[in-house]
Amino acid sequence: MLTPGDEESLLLDIKEGIQYALYLGKQEGRFTEDEIYLDKIRLNKLQYIVNEDRDLGLTFGWFKYGPAPEDVTTDTGVALGPQPGDDIAHLEESRLPSKDHLSTEGFAYYFLRELDDEFDRIVTTEETKVYLVDFYDEYAPKDEYATRFTDLYKASARLQQTLDAIGGGKDWHQNSTEFYYELDKKFLPVSEEIAKLDSLEHTLEPLEEYRKLLTSIISEADAEEELSSSQQAFINNAIRKFYNTVWDFVGQEISLETMRGENVDELRPKVETNAKKYRNGSWKAELNSLAERRESVGLDPEIEDMEKLESGGNGEDDEQSLDEEMVKRVSEMGAEVISN
């Protein structure tokens, strides 16, 4: 049985094994250092793959970026590179001495020899969010609880590709009109997948409110001849609200249903606390803050547009507003496909 501390040690052995595998792979000419794109998300996916393949017993749930032995709450900013064996203190031993556990070196050879070409593909695919779609197809858990969420995660990964392009700098603004329409199209499948799942029904409102707010901001940015640094910084912050609030809410709820392993009882309280915070409306304060600050960078809508955004109809219509809007968006997309 693994304790929570044992799991941390095992994850560290795997991480160092991956870094040593990168070093050996580079030495063998399988890839150059410039071709390596290994961030925390992909590290986590490699840890998940070996956990499932060798039945290591690590506790995991579905979080922001799919099934993971630990909560991946950061984006792709943490880069990991090759590490020679001389720099690894316990290369030939495991931190958990047992016939069931590989040494750090053993994990390196698992990735290079057993995962083989798939390892090379994972660590050299240039875009993490592009890789994630393939990962969900191939490695997502197939049990009855987890498999319900696979299509949702794929739709979200595709949306995130567009969000990351907008949040990555000013280049997107040259094609801002196209990005505006692309955003709306990619939000739709995410909304549709959430709407299919009763357990996530309450996360649809924050997603739709965020979509309306973000597309309104992008619409105002589209009208600008050129974005200032302060405007792009504000847009970057708006994109992060998706990851740190809206999608995090969805991920925490899914985790409560998909956690499995020997230390679920250690993981669950933190997830329950986070989910409860969102259910109690903390997401509203985050979106309100974003809406209030847009004026300071000149990305606030005209008065009539603002009234349209803020209008939720009368009380008896509120319940139907989201469904009606979604039907309208589905119809518009259908007409677009036919016309093409």
Instruction: Give the CA angle between residues 68, 81, 25 to the nearest 5°.
Output: 95
Give residue 302's pLDDT: 73
Rounded CA-CA distance 232/238 in Å is 10
Nearest to 36 by CA among 27, 45, 26: 26
Using an 8 Å Cβ cutoff, are 111 and 18 in contact? Answer: yes
DSSP per residue, 67-95: EESS---S-TT-B-----GGG-TTTTS-S
Q: Which two tokens stand for residue 235?
A: 């847009």
Q: If you ran DSSP here, which 8-state letter would residue 260 be given?
A: B
Confidence of residue 249 (pLDDT cuts 50, 70, 90): very high
Q: In whole angstroms, how far apart are CA 250 and each of 64, 156, 253, 269, 321?
A: 8, 11, 5, 16, 21
Give residue 97's pLDDT: 82
Give residue 306's pLDDT: 54
Give residue 320's pLDDT: 45
**Which tens digit of pLDDT belongs to each residue from 30-58?**
999 999 999 999 999 999 999 999 999 99
Q: Which two tokens stand for residue 247?
A: 């999608």
Nearest to 283 by CA among 194, 211, 222: 211
Nearest to 239 by CA among 295, 167, 188: 167
Give residue 26's pLDDT: 97
Confidence of residue 236 (pLDDT cuts 50, 70, 90): very high
Residue 273 has pLDDT above 80, yes or no: yes
Give residue 79's pLDDT: 67
Q: If you ran DSSP here, which 8-state letter would residue 263 be given?
A: T
In the chain, where are the structural domains located?
A: 1-128, 141-340
Average pLDDT over residues 309-314: 49
**Which tens digit of pLDDT belongs to each residue from 64-104?**
898 888 665 544 455 689 999 999 998 999 998 877 789 99
Confidence of residue 324 (pLDDT cuts 50, 70, 90): low
Confidence of residue 305 (pLDDT cuts 50, 70, 90): low
Question: How large is the greatest C-alpha to C-alpha distance in the chain, in angstroms?
Answer: 69
Confidence of residue 114 (pLDDT cuts 50, 70, 90): very high
Exposed, middle or buried: residue 298 (CB in 10 Å: 0-12, 13-18, 19+)? middle
Rounded CA-CA distance 8/10 in Å is 5
Give residue 310's pLDDT: 54
Give residue 1's pLDDT: 83
Give residue 250's pLDDT: 98
Rounded CA-CA distance 211/121 in Å is 33
